[in-house]
Amino acid sequence: MQAAERTYPVDVPGVGHFVFRKRLIRDQIRIQAEAVRITGGPTDDPDLKDISLAMATLIVLIKEAPAGWNVEYLDPLDRDVSAELWKVFGALRVAEDRFRGGA
Residue 42 sits in a domain whose CATH number is 3.30.2220
Q: What is the mean pLDDT of residues 73-86?
A: 88
Of all residues in the chain, the percent with pLDDT exceeding 90 is 76
> Does residue 3 have a pLDDT over 80?
no
Q: What is the mean pLDDT of residues 13-37?
A: 96
Cite the beta strand spans of 34-98 per DSSP E.
62-64
Number of domains in the chain: 1
Q: What is the pLDDT of residue 102?
A: 56
Q: What is the pLDDT of residue 25?
A: 96
Range of the domain at 64: 3-99
What spatial distance separates the first Cα and last Cα of the chain, rounded to whole Å? Answer: 23
Integer Cα distance of 77 and 103 in angstroms:
34
